[in-house]
Structures are given as C-alpha cells and as structure tokens.
Amino acid sequence: MKIALENNLSETAFAVKEGEYYGLRWFTPGGEIDLCGHATLAAAFVLLRFCEKEADSISFQTLSGILTVKRRGDLYEMKFPAYRLKSVPVTDEMENALGVRPAEAYIGRDLLCVFDAPEAITKMEPDMSKAESLPGLLLHVTARGTKTDCISRSFAPKMKIPEDPVCGSGHCHIAPYWGKRLKKAQLVAYQASKRGGTLYCRMEGEHVYLAGKAALFSEGNIHFLVRENSCQEK
C-alpha cells in the first residue's frame, strides 16, 4: 500500500512466480482492487519481455480467478469475465455528479452511465465529491463513438483516483453493453482520458477479450527503510 501510495497511479501491480502461474495483485492509492486491465497488460508485457522471453502467453492467479494474456504481434490480449449489467433508474444524484443527465444507467461491479452524444463524454467535468456517493465501485460514462464503436471515461473517487487513463475492468462493463446494443461481437473502443487509449474488444459467451499495446517507459529500483538511518535496495 505504501508503494502504491508513493506511485500515486491508478493501480500498481505486484507479481510473484507461483508454480505455473504468477500471483498478481493490484493496489490503488486507496486500497486493493479485484480486477484491473491495464495493470495486467503492463505486468504481462514486463514478464514476457524480461522473464519469460520464449513464451507467447502468461497466466496470473488473481482475486478474479485465472487471467491469461497472449501476445499477438504488437498487441497483448487478455481474457476477462464480463460483468452482468442490471438496469437502474437514472437519478438526480447522477446528473448532479456528472453535470449532464444520462440517458440510461446500469450497475455491475461498477456504475455505467450511457449518454446520447460523444461530446457529453469528452466535455464532462464531474464533481468527484458527489460522484463518490453514487452506487458501484467505479463510475464509467460512455456514448456511441464517431471514429470508434464507443467512447468512454472512467472515474474512481472511492479508490482515491479521480480518473483512470484506460480502464480494462471498466470495459468488462462497457464492451458487453455496446456489443449487445450494436449486435457486434468485436468492437473498437476509445477511452477519452487526457492520455487516451484504444482497446480492441471481443465477446465470447461470459467473457470479454481485451487487447491493447504496451510500451516500456521506465526501469528503476525501489528503496525502502530497513531500520533507522539505514536503507536497502530491493
């Protein structure tokens, strides 16, 4: 938790070799989370690049079961469980938190709010203090895209993250919704955060396959205090 707090990123992933699998856990600055897409992709990218160089796939034991990432050219594809969505009433509290009234709302692990226009997503300036009181662990907003099948943003004030740059677990809600609505098994999704990101999604039964690209941007060491006036590298 202290490392995740120092990093202050959406999630920090920790992987440990455990037999044929790697144990994998994810922590936000606000606590542990049970599913995270981009940190799983990042973990697989690092392990396949540095530790399992001859492998084409890697499997993780997680709080959401076994997650497998396959390398397909320059894409890394992950298999995730699809969240079942239950329609819920659109409320004044949702409108007050988001600044725009959703056309539809659904609950899975997270709250999914659907809008009629992509501009509602890109121009949205949610009130995080009000969004924190809404149901669901995370909050996702989505609309039909113009250049992609859908566009979305993800917010996680309950986990001390105002906005997630690219949310894999969010698309375990978003992709099933748009797949059913557009009657498509394969989708291209765009996360319209400040950084932005494209996800290639496909649905198979109760699972969602998410693929994306990864890039190495930093290598380093973590130093931690062992005792007073002494420090050790790990």
Please report the pLDDT score of residue 30 as a whole number: 87
74-to-56, 192, 212, 216 alpha-carbon distances in Å: 12, 22, 8, 13
* Beta strands at 65-72 and 31-33: parallel, antiparallel or unpaired: unpaired
C-alpha pair distances (Å), 210 with each of 27, 124, 142, 187: 21, 25, 17, 10
Indicate the average pLDDT of the chain. 93
For 174-233, what is each residue's pLDDT tens digit?
A: 999 999 999 999 999 999 999 999 999 999 989 999 999 888 989 999 887 665 555 455
Claim: this prediction has a pTM higher than 0.75: yes
Per-residue model confidence as pLDDT tens digits over 101-130: 999 999 999 999 999 999 999 999 999 999
Q: Superfamily for 86-212?
A: Diaminopimelate Epimerase; Chain A, domain 1 (3.10.310.10)
Choice among 11, 132, 163, 204 that is catalytic: 11
Q: Residue 60's pLDDT band (boundaries 50, 70, 90)?
A: very high
> Using CA atoms, how far apart are residues 94 and 96, in angstroms rounded to an integer?
5
In the chain, which ranges are continuous DSSP H helix?
Answer: 2-7, 37-50, 92-98, 118-122, 128-131, 171-182
State how far the Cα of 70 lies from the Cα of 41, in Å rounded to an integer. 10
- The domain spans of the chain are 86-212
| pLDDT at residue 226, rounded to an integer | 62
pLDDT at 8 over 60: yes
User: Is 79's pLDDT higher than 70?
Assistant: yes
Determine the pLDDT at residue 70: 94
Q: How far is CA 189 from the centre of its chain?
A: 13
Q: Does position 137 have pLDDT exceeding 60, yes or no?
A: yes
* 54 in catalytic set: no
